[in-house]
């Protein structure tokens, strides 16, 4: 069974080139703290969104995603997502997803 990240990289291979960092899942504007993601989900009823790919988004890509004026960029690596998965959420100049707690589910 392939790991969810291997499947994501295979489907979005143009955004995860071989010469890029193998552990970068994507980038977000906001907090890299999983506890903040949980608070967002359960108190604000929204998920933390992530721009997918191993190369940092351009200013134009951040703007198209609606977060061009938010704070600093956070690089999210696979080990930052312990107990989380990323589900595909859409495409605006480049793919993006949402970070969700895996809750022990096995994704095949």
pLDDT tens track, the chain, 108 positions: 458 899 889 999 999 999 999 999 999 998 899 999 999 888 888 889 999 999 999 999 988 888 877 878 999 999 999 889 898 888 889 999 999 888 655 444
Model pLDDT, residue 104:
58
Model pLDDT, residue 1:
42
Model pLDDT, residue 74:
95
Prediction pTM value: 0.86
Angle, CA 55 vertex, CA 51 and CA 57 arms, to 5° = 50
8 A C-beta contact, residue 77 and residue 32: no
Three-state SS at 100: strand
Q: Which residues pair with 28 in a beta bridge?
A: 74
Angle, CA 23 vertex, CA 19 and CA 24 arms, to 5° = 85
* Phi, psi dihedrals of residue 65, rounded to the nearest 5°: -80, -5
């Amino acid at each position: 069974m392939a790991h969810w990240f291997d499947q994501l990289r295979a489907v979005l291979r143009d955004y995860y080139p071989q010469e890029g960092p193998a552990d970068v899942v994507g980038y977000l504007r906001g907090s890299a703290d999983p506890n903040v993601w949980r608070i967002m989900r359960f108190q604000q009823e929204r998920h933390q969104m992530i721009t997918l790919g191993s190369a940092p988004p351009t200013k134009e890509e951040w703007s198209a995603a609606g977060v061009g004026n938010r704070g600093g960029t956070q690089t999210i690596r696979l080990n930052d997502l312990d107990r989380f998965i990323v589900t595909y959420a859409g495409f605006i100049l480049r793919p993006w997803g949402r970070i969700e707690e895996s809750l022990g589910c096995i994704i095949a």
